[in-house]
Structure 1
Amino acid sequence: MSLLSRVNYILDESCAFSICLIVLAVDAYRMLCYDSHFYVPIFITSGCLTAGLSKGLKRVINQSRPPGAPKLSPGMPSNHATALSFLCVSTVFELQKFSEHTVVHGLVPTNRWKLSPIHMAPDIPVNWVKPLQAFVILYSVYLTRLRVVHGHHTMAQVVVGYIFGASCAALCLIANYAGFAGGPPGGRVDALSFPMKTMAAAISTFILLVAIHAACRSLIRGHALLSPTMHFVVAKGSSEMNAE
């Protein structure tokens, strides 16, 4: 197996777990450095709920995965594609939002943990924003494509999953920001009262723990199916080379 095939396999198998680690790191950064910014945990939770809804749709539609797929569960729509597109749209929007201003009113960094110097928002240089947005989009599309390459889903299943996740993210962004002006930069969720934020934080924490547990189970199942999946990838790569 070529180096690229091995890298693709690792990226595909660790997709769910790596997404959880990334979003938790971003969540921790925002919560530690900004007192009132509540946007990130709410949208991560919304992404988890969207993935859960996608899983429910799988049971309803009950469309089989392609022949030879490592899993026997229904495949329409792809959960990985749904989660990737939701986080992609949310991240691209957030990057664009913070690149439009030199200082965002209401988003004042406290840096009380003394971890590192933290600048006024935007904390990402403006000339980095477009490359970062392009990277996020390409990375999410590439990982989605790997679900087809490695035989987990058909092209239709990942396309539907990607569109579903992106649509849910757009609806969440519209609900949070549409018609909301002059308030906190995080939109309506940042304008919630303290008791409401406390309740939302508790619910978000519970949902995130459930999502992490599900991701870990998926990772363990992936290792259990390591041999058949690797054989599938090797066989497919060999057939493509022979065809050439």
Structure 2
Amino acid sequence: MTSFLCLQCGVQFEATQAPPRRCPICEDERQFVRWEGQAWITPEELAATHRLAMKDDAGVLAFGIEPRFAIGQRAQLVETPHGNVLWDCIPMVSDEAVAEINRRGGLAAIAISHCHFYSAMAQWSEAFGGVPIYLHADDRQWIMRPHPAIVSWQGDTLRLNPSVTLIRCGGHFAGSQVLHWARDGGNAILTGDTVQVTPTRRHVSFMYSYPNQIPLNAAAVRRIAAALEPFDFDDIRGAWWDLNIIGGGKSAFDASVARYLAAIA
């Protein structure tokens, strides 16, 4: 029995003897099936050709896969005095990554922005003794590998500890969530691609589907803005290496919302 990974999106599926027939996440209009057709890879095959990279990303320890695999996102370690949280996830776990997180105080929880980044979340949880994985209940249909550690929370906000709050923004997916991190030196929001940091690193944008270039409607963008309005933040940390707005994040977000709404009006 093998928990196969989709070669296109990197999401891990429930253990089976043979690869699944299809990937519903890639068949959804927000993603796409490989031009060559659906394909799968085992965790062992992935480890034979790729490595887990750990490095500092604008002051935060982050994890990615090299060479780039699937969507190519990176995970971030939210370190707090009340327990550490892994934000978003990647399709590979390594002994070195586990040891480094344990050296920094271990892991209390995992939280993931949306289903494109669910990847090997169950393996990450098991590597730290089955820590809870917080996913919004509105996205439970996209869970391809059910696991006892998954917590399907409901509502608009969930405080994981005095420093970390999950905020359901919707938009990209119904249950898309961001993480607010209250910390010394400047609060931050970690957004996945619910709020996409652009290459200028001075603005953000919004999409229903990034690869298929389907914009997000005005009502959804206004809802995201309303969900984040009560929270103060200096930094916006996106889904990929170095795509961060460091300083002035709240002003950049507000200006970007106005710019986006004007563009699609």
Normalized per residue, the structure richer in strand is 2
Rg comparison, structure with higher value: 1
TM range (shorter): under 0.3
TM-score, scaled relative to structure 2: 0.23
TM-score, scaled relative to structure 1: 0.24
Normalized per residue, the structure richer in helix is 1
Structure with the larger RCO, 1 or 2 (CA within 8 Å, 6+ apart)? 1
